Amino acid sequence: MYDIYMDSFSSPEFLKSLKNREASAISALVNKYNKTLYNAAFGMGMNSDQTQEVVQEVWASFFENIENFEGRSHIRTYLFGFLYNKAKEFWRTKKRHSEHEEYDVLVDSQYDGSGHWQAKPVDPEEFAAQTQTIGKIEECMEGLKDIQQKAFHLKEVLGLSGEEICNILDTSHTNLRVLIFRAKQRLRICLEGLVKR
């Protein structure tokens, strides 16, 4: 990952122009982060109208509070903090079905009771052909459980950090670790199913 802590957004001059609401500073910041913000909000499972609304609310809170921002953290962190609050609200209103599940029968069936392989992985070279065929992984992604799909998308496709994802999905690092494991294991099983035996 590139270092997000070293850029022009960190300079006191930039912060000053931002607080003065200078169009150039605002454009630079919005154009830089709006897409990431949108994708992250969308990754929570909202439709596009809800996402647009949340993104606007995040910017509204950001500009309401910008006077209090002293530049101690990176501005991206500060901005994303408002998204996390929105995420928390969003998950509170959602039913708990999307919460972490204790079991994933398909994934668990790969191992025996003592954690050893029950269904041994096929030859990697045969497997490789499936992973390199365009669209196969996306096809298999459909078979992920809702929350696994979200975690997978945020981490592997959008490349957000573990910290950010835990905040967005309102879950712990331990859960996220299991979600990513299950997502990739499910993808692997699905792709293996496509290998001719």
Nearest-CA neighbor of 197 among 119, 111, 143, 115? 119
Q: Tell me the Ramachandran region of residue 134: left when phi exceeds 0, alpha when psi lies from -120 to 50, beta otherwise.
A: beta
Query: Residue 95 or 134: which CB sits closer to another protein?
Result: 134
Query: Residue 32 or 93: which CB sits closer to another protein?
Result: 32
C-beta separation of 62 from 79 below 8 A: yes
Query: Residue 4 or 119: which CB sits closer to another protein?
Result: 119
- Site membership for another protein, residue 116 (CB under 8 A): yes
CB of 125 to another protein, least distance (A): 8
C-beta separation of 104 from 182 below 8 A: yes
Q: Which of 65, 89, 99, 138 binds another protein (CB under 8 A)?
A: 138
Query: Residue 86 or 96: which CB sits closer to another protein?
Result: 86
Size of the site for another protein (CB under 8 A): 50
**23-42 vs 12-19: helix axis angle to the nearest 10?**
90
- Site membership for another protein, residue 131 (CB under 8 A): yes
- Site membership for another protein, residue 75 (CB under 8 A): no
Distance, in Å, from the CA atom of 46 to the CA atom of 158, rounded to the nearest integer, reads 16
Q: Which of 94, 139, 146, 157 binds another protein (CB under 8 A)?
A: 157
3-state secondary structure of 117: strand
Q: Which of 72, 97, 120, 196 binds another protein (CB under 8 A)?
A: 120
Distance, in Å, from the CA atom of 173 to the CA atom of 129, rounded to the nearest integer, reads 32
Q: Residue 110: what residue type?
A: Q
Residues 26 to 45: which contact another protein by CB under 8 A?
Answer: 26-27, 30-31, 34-35, 38-39, 42
Q: Which of 8, 22, 77, 94 binds another protein (CB under 8 A)?
A: 22
Nearest-CA neighbor of 66 among 132, 2, 9, 120? 9
Token pair for 56: 């606007």
Q: Where do contacts with another protein occur on this chain (CB under 8 A)?
A: 20-23, 26-27, 30-31, 34-35, 38-39, 42, 52, 55-56, 59, 63, 111, 114-117, 120-124, 127-128, 131-132, 134, 136-138, 156-158, 177-178, 180-181, 183-185, 187-188, 191-192
